[in-house]
Structure 1
Amino acid sequence: MFWYDHDPGGWGWFTMSVGMILFWGVLITFGVLLWRALSRPDGSGAMSAPAPRRPTPEQLLAERFARGELDENAYRRGLTVLRGHGDDPGPDGR
């Protein structure tokens, strides 16, 4: 019943040692590759940061108005054009 006297012998120890090293090597390699695939900086992974949003034309217009590049009349005319209102504000913005 106990053919090998509970002792795998010299080659058995060697085979088990190599097998255990290969097992843990494959397991660790798989874990590292999975982690790298999920945390890619190019946006294809699940843990990547969202892409920065581009400002809308209205936001750009408001920024230019806030910096003083546009006066109030030009800002209001720009908003009217961007929002697509049919009424033309006229040359003085009214």
Structure 2
Amino acid sequence: MLAERVIAMMWGYGWGLGYWLSMGITMLLFWGLIVVGVIALVRYVGGTRKADTPGPVGGQARAEDVLAERYARGEIDDDEYKRRLELLRTHQ
């Protein structure tokens, strides 16, 4: 009788493998939802960086910014800056 009681306590009173399997799956689903929720929250709070995507308008502005930075650093002179800026603006 003592042996039956110990076995019953150890194995959950006959619930068997199905109970432990369902608990394991439930635990994995729970933590999976937690991870997905945290990722969704980070993306929502952080937002997307649409300004970094290349395009006709964003790319044009970025090219002019790079040109202006090179001119400010002294890598190109006045004539080169004006020539390249005009080239950028005519080839939109």
Q: Taking structure 1 as the reference length, what is the TM-score of the superposition?
A: 0.47
Larger-gyration structure (1/2): 1
Q: Taking structure 2 as the reference length, what is the TM-score of the superposition?
A: 0.47
